[in-house]
């Protein structure tokens, strides 16, 4: 503790609270965002991280599966969603998803992270059958599937309650839900960046229901667009309140906004300074969250490495093939080039039907995931030193 040097003395009362293990208030969050002393903010966050996790950093060996990029929502923040007939629109046939999943298992994957667009024609049953098929073919793999936004959309198209939607997902084999779609909860921001998406309150209520029926989830916050510091802190405090009630959030992932190819492309990209601050402030405010993730795909491996000293204790997964943020200009390697297909006839999604779309050949690009350090087992805990070596 002797090595904490505060150049911004307004941080002193906050530092005292952190060192005493006390919960920080809303105003403390604002102060942490505004303080010019980023290194002190990072020091405090790292103090909490070390208290919780010592010298251990987590990652998992996973694959992303994005069944379709066709989406009715047209969020302004998004470069991934497409109209059904737009160039680049795709929907995978189930057989194709299974083939890719089985390839992932052969390469050591222990988790599938499954999110996609809100397709106007695919029924809820397509997604349930996908999950059942994955569970049957890859029984040892953890299925982290469908954001709260997708859950809400499924309940609408299937005309069933949110609880029933979640129950059917669980019954089919979903093990947990990812944390996407939270963006910034405040209605002012949602009106600008994602006005057709569920409200922040609906997202929170859906997460609560998921936790109550035994589906844990992650939580995210998309920062670096039109939001204010107050709106970020409001978002974090709302998550903390739900976590107090359910203890169902596993990890929090601050997501840096990538503006390229979105209607908000005039907004500058986030800086490393802002990225590290968001990691640190989340670690400090979310005292009831075990894990803070530095999502290296968005942050870059270099910033993710530094984030491990700013409160992050988890680097997410090996991922291998990522579409959503690369469509929005993420510069990290795609690893295997996204394989695009044309949109199939939704009536032909059956797993028994043949995939009708020829794939372009995949290109294998350089990535940490291919390194031997990353090939070991499920959700492995390694010393930070090892992670840093792996990303170099
Ligand atoms: S962010 Fe999600 S819901 Fe919004 S347009 Fe993109 S894919 Fe659709």
Question: Does some domain include residue 252?
Answer: yes
**Within a domain: 4:** no
Exposed (0-12), middle (13-18) or buried (19+): which is 229, by Cβ within 10 Å? middle
Chain segment 256-309, per-residue pLDDT in tens: 999 999 999 999 999 999 999 999 999 999 999 999 999 998 899 999 999 999
Residue nearest to atom 2 of ligand 1 (CA): 117
Predicted local confidence at residue 380, as pLDDT:
35
Q: What is the pLDDT along the chain (392 residues), one digit of tens a residue?
A: 558 989 999 999 999 999 999 999 999 999 999 999 999 999 999 999 999 999 999 999 999 999 999 999 999 999 999 999 999 999 999 999 999 999 999 999 999 999 999 999 999 999 999 999 999 999 999 999 999 999 999 999 999 999 999 999 999 999 999 999 999 999 999 999 999 999 999 999 999 999 999 999 999 999 999 999 999 999 999 999 999 999 999 999 999 999 999 999 999 999 999 999 999 999 999 999 999 999 998 899 999 999 999 999 999 888 777 776 677 667 666 553 333 323 333 333 333 322 222 222 222 222 322 222 222 223 333 333 333 333 33
Shared domain for 30 and 174, answered yes or no, is no
Residue 340: the pLDDT is 33
Is there a single domain that holds both residue 25 and residue 156? no
Residue with CA closest to ligand 1 atom 4: 75
pLDDT of residue 325: 65
Using a 6 Å cutoff on CB, does residue 117 contact ligand 1? yes
pTM of the model: 0.85
Give Cβ neighbours of residue 95 (< 8 Å, ≥ 6 apart).
351, 353, 354, 355
Do 34 and 95 lie in a common domain?
A: no
Q: Is residue 3 part of a domain?
A: no
Judge if 274 and 303 occupy the same domain: yes
Calculate how far, in angstroms, residue 70's C-alpha sits from the geometric centre of ligand 1. Answer: 9
Based on the fold, state whether residues 25 and 170 are members of the same structural domain: no
- For residues 172 and 30, membership in a common domain is answered with no
Whether 171 and 191 share a structural domain = yes
Other CB atoms within a 10 A radius of the CB of residue 355 amount to: 18
Whether 1 is in a domain gets the answer no
Q: Does ligand 1 lie within 6 Å of residue 72's CB atom? A: no
Distance 218 CA to ligand 1 centre (A): 18
CB of 221 sitting under 6 A from ligand 1 = no
Nearest CA to ligand 1 atom 1: 78
HSE-CB at 304 with a 13 A cutoff on CA atoms is 31
Residues 321 and 340 in one domain: yes
Residues 376 and 359 in one domain: yes
221/175 same-domain check: yes
Residue 364 lies in a domain: yes
User: 247 with 365, same domain?
Assistant: yes
What pLDDT does 347 receive?
35
Q: What is the pLDDT of residue 363?
A: 24
pLDDT, residue 41, reads: 98
SS3 assignment for the chain: CCCCCCCCHHHHHHHHHHHCCCCCCHHHHHHHHHCCCHHHHHHHHHHHHHHHHCCEEEEECEEEECCECECCCCCCCCCCCECCCCCCCCECCHHHHHHHHHHHHHCCCCEEEECCCCCCCCCHHHHHHHHHHHHHHCCCCEEEECCHHHHHHHHHHHCCCHHHHHHHHHHHCCCEECCCCCCCCCHHHHHHHCCCCCCHHHHHHHHHHHHHCCCCEEEEEEECCCCCHHHHHHHHHHHHHHHHHHCCEEEEEEEECCCCCCCCCCCCCCCHHHHHHHHHHHHHHCCCCCEEECCHHHHCHHHHHHHCCCCCCEEEECCCECCHHHHCCCCCCCEECCCCCCCCCHHHCCCCCCCCCCCCCCCECCCHHHCHHHCCCCCEEEEHHHHHHHHC
> Is residue 291 located within the same domain as residue 151?
yes
Output the domain CATH number for residue 122. Answer: 3.20.20.70
User: CA angle, corner 384, sides to 379 and 387, nearest 5?
Assistant: 65
Determine whether the shortest distance from the Cβ of 115 to ligand 1 is under 6 A. no
Please, how many CA atoms are within 13 Å of residue 344, restricted to the half-sphere of its CB? 23
Structural domain for 250, as ranges:
54-388
Tell me, using a 6 A CB cutoff, whether residue 131 lines ligand 1: no
Domain-embedded: residue 183:
yes
Task: Report the number of distinct structural domains present in the chain.
Answer: 2
Q: Indicate which atom in ligand 1 lies nearest the CA of residue 80.
A: 6
Six-digit token string for 233: 């802190």
358 lies in some domain: yes
């Amino acid at each position: 503790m002797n090595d904490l040097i505060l150049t911004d003395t307004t941080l002193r009362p906050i530092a005292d609270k952190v060192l005493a293990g006390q919960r920080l208030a809303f105003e403390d969050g604002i102060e942490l965002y505004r303080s010019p002393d980023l290194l002190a903010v990072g020091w405090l966050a790292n103090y909490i991280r070390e208290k919780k996790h010592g010298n251990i950093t987590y990652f998992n060996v996973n694959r992303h599966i994005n069944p379709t990029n066709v989406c009715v929502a047209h969020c302004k923040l998004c470069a991934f969603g497409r109209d059904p007939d737009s160039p680049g629109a795709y929907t995978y046939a189930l057989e194709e998803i299974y083939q890719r999943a089985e390839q992932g298992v052969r390469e050591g994957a222990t988790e599938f992270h499954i999110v996609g667009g809100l397709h106007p024609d695919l029924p809820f049953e397509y997604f349930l059958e996908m999950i059942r098929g994955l569970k049957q073919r890859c029984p040892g793999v953890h299925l982290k599937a469908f954001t709260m936004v997708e859950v809400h959309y499924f309940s609408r198209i299937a005309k069933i309650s949110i609880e029933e939607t979640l129950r059917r997902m669980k019954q089919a084999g979903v093990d947990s839900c990812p944390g996407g779609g939270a963006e910034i909860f405040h209605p002012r921001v949602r009106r600008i960046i994602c006005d057709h998406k569920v409200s922040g309150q609906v997202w929170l209520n859906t997460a609560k229901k998921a936790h109550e029926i035994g589906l844990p989830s992650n939580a995210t916050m998309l920062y670096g667009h039109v939001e204010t510091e107050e709106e970020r802190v409001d978002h974090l405090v709302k998550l903390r309140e739900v976590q107090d009630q359910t203890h169902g959030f596993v990890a929090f992932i601050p997501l840096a906004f990538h503006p390229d190819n979105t209607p908000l492309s005039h907004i500058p990209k986030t800086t490393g300074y802002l990225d590290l601050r968001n990691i640190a402030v989340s670690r400090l405010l979310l005292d009831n969250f075990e894990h803070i993730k530095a999502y290296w795909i968005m942050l870059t491996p270099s910033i993710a490495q530094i984030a491990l000293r700013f409160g992050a204790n988890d680097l997410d997964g090996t991922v291998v093939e990522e579409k959503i943020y690369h469509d929005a200009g993420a510069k990290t390697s795609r690893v295997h080039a996204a394989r695009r297909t044309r949109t199939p006839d939704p009536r032909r999604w059956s797993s028994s039907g043949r995939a009708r779309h020829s794939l372009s050949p995949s290109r294998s690009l350089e990535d940490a995931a291919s390194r031997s350090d990353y090939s070991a087992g499920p959700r492995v805990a390694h010393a930070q030193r090892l992670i840093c070596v792996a990303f170099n």
